[in-house]
Amino acid sequence: MYPFKLEPAVKSYLWGGNRLNGEFGIGTSDSPIAEAWMLSCHPSGTSVILNGYLAGKPLSEVIPGNFEKILGTNSPADAGFPILIKFIDANKDLSIQVHPGNEYHGVDSGESGKTEMWYILDAKEGAYIYYGFSREVSKEEMLKHIEDKTITSILNRVYVKKGDSFYIKSGTVHSMGPGVFVAEIQQNSDLTYRIHDYDRTDAAGNKRELHIDKALDVTDRTFVPGPAVRPVATVYEGYSIARLVSCEYFTVDFIEIKTSAEFSCGEESFVSILITEGSGNLHFDNSAYPSMDVKKGDSILLPVGTGRYRIEGACAALLTSK
């Protein structure tokens, strides 16, 4: 296997905006783009390989026969593809929602649970997210506020700015308000239980389904999070790096490169490189891999055993591994 540059799957939900097309050149301007699935093997939308002899192949067709060659020892084949990475452009309020954990008996259809993290790439003045509750609440109180459509009154509203990051464990009620643009790294699941959707309707006049009973089952009503934490970066010659999160499902670092930075992809895990700002060039010690130009919005998957690689140029990126 060789390093893959990927084309994302595009999702045009009713709350999306125009930043993914306008700033990143992703998708078309025909309709609002809510999400771009930058690294995905999910049946609801898979990335497509853009380079090399596998160009044009969906990643979901390549992975099954090459699981260990691409993903490594930290990702056993019987557990499936481990992660899904997205850009999300919230031009309007997202639904108030929660995701189950792996252990929930209602998880079906081959989906895993869903723990995720958000890195705020940009936010308009006054933009906010909902992140857990403002205090501990009972199941009965939560249900009453859902029925009264006042659920946001007991949620923890956090005003956000570029550079904030949030670890959103399964069971945490959450949402985004307008003007938030994030990178999301999550378990490979598309399972969402909507609690409140502002009575919105689609083009046919239909409201989206709510999942109240399941949401009540899986919500952690005791979790009252503190303020946003901005990880402290370690500065090296040519670049800086900050560990955003390390959990059983993924490890994510944010790097800012002034001139160049060198890293390694070993035998235990793949590495996903998501360029969030600027441009540069990606070089490999293995001469069998040609260097590639990279720019804002590019997603690159390095298979296990890629070895030493170097990113040159003024850019920023999220590095994700398992």
Residues tagged active-site: 194
* Nearest Cα to Cα of residue 227 among 133, 159, 127: 159
Q: How many angstroms separate the Cα of 177 from the Cα of each of 39, 92, 157, 181, 182?
A: 24, 6, 10, 10, 12
8 A C-beta contact, residue 99 and residue 113 = yes
3-state secondary structure of 162: coil
Termini Cα distance of the chain: 18
Write the CB contacts of 263 (distance below 8 Å, at least 6 apart in sequence).
271, 308, 309, 310, 311, 319
- Which helix H or strand E contains 252, and what residues bound it? strand 251-257
